[in-house]
Amino acid sequence: MTLSAGYIAAVVGSSALVYAVVLLCTRLAGLRSFSKMSASDFAMTVAVGSLFASTAVSPDKQLIPGLVAIATLFSGQLMIAVVRKNAPWASDVIDNQPLLLMRHGKIIDANMQQAHVTRADLFAKLREANACKVDDVLAVVFETTGDISVLHSDTGDLDPEILEGVLHGAHETGA
């Protein structure tokens, strides 16, 4: 493929158009489209990025199909958001559930194994969260995004609502 001035101009033009369409779709569907709150959000972000790239560099073959695919992804993401909002069971089917890895300074080994998180990973996250004493760690949650949240305090207080919807595992009960 030769990089003629016409081809470069077409790539610049298609990139600008695809970018404008992505911005428009994001405004219509909402910022949730690029959040990393669930597996479907992650898939959406990866898919839009891939389509953006392939559409932008092959404007002669991919522009219209790429724009249609991007609009379809945003429409699907919007439909999933509506279903999630109106049907509580949908989140159980679509999303991963957050998983409790540690509670009141005690590691929940079965949940660590289920999440494929090592003790080294856990302690790295504790250090990253500036947790100085294991006893001050009220909870560690493996979030639906794969992030690890560390809740720590020297007061020992944790509002039970914060752990609402978090799977405690077979060996842990209560919130």
One digit per residue, the tens of pLDDT, for the chain of length 175 reads 567 888 888 889 889 999 899 888 888 877 667 766 677 777 888 899 999 999 888 888 888 899 999 999 999 888 888 888 898 788 777 777 889 999 999 999 999 999 999 999 999 999 999 999 998 899 999 988 788 999 988 777 788 888 888 888 754 444 3
Q: What is the DSSP letter of 131?
A: -
CB 149 within 8 A of CB 133: no
d(CA 175, CA 163): 6
* Structural domain boundaries in the chain: 5-93, 97-163
Predicted structure pTM score = 0.64
Lookup: tokens for 28: 């219509």
* CATH code that applies to domain 97-163: 3.30.240.20
Residue 153: φ, ψ to 5°: -165, 150
The string of DSSP codes covering 8-36 is HHHHHHHHHHHHHHHHHHHHHH-GGGG--
